[in-house]
Amino acid sequence: MGKTTTANMFREEGIPVWDADETVHRLYGAGGKAVPEIEKVFPEAIVDGAVSRPKLREVIQADLAALGTLEAIVHPLVAADRQTFRSENNGLIVFDIPLLFETSADQWLDAVLVVSTDEDTQKQRVFSRDGMTKELFEDILSRQIPDTEKQVRADFVIETASLEQTRADVRDLISQLTEKLSHA
């Protein structure tokens, strides 16, 4: 949809952005806080002191209950990291959260921005990623609320068809929200 590119545009405008995916990568990396706990439960998923995502995916595919166990380990660590970020930043901040509505994260946010694009562009972007298959893409979509519903539930929607328009829309939204914050 253009979520990462749009988040980077906020960063370029000086807005702090917390990224859930980056946080998980850090937690899974060598020395990451999630590694010791995951190693206790899924030792086969640890390679060279870090969580191997492909091996972890194999574990979860072999035992669907493993996903709940993994989430019980990782979600509190992600929440703690997010809270630290929140306490270290004030004013306008952005939280880049996949599965935002699906995890009810929208409940604690002041406003929700959904970035969107047409289905053909979405597919083109997704299939340009390494390791993406039709089956994986369909699995990802099956766990998400449809884009049309996300747009209805959002406070703001930015279409990401062109970089220039997206950047202009990001700047406009920053201006709107900064003005709103100054009157709060």
Q: For the segment 41-55, what is each residue's pLDDT rounded down to a tens digit? A: 999 999 999 999 999
The two tokens of residue 128 are 């340009």
Is residue 26 predicted with pLDDT exceeding 90? yes
Q: Same domain, yes or no, for 43 and 133?
A: no
Distances (CA, A) of 149 to 6, 101, 102, 144: 20, 10, 11, 10
Q: Same domain, yes or no, for 12 and 28?
A: no
Give the range of the structural domain holding residue 122, as residue numbers without chain letter.
1-16+93-184
Q: Same domain, yes or no, for 84 and 110?
A: no
Average pLDDT over residues 98-104: 86
Residue 184 pLDDT: 67
Query: How many Å apart are CA 79 and CA 97, to the nearest integer?
Result: 11
Q: Same domain, yes or no, for 181 and 99?
A: yes
pTM across the whole model: 0.84
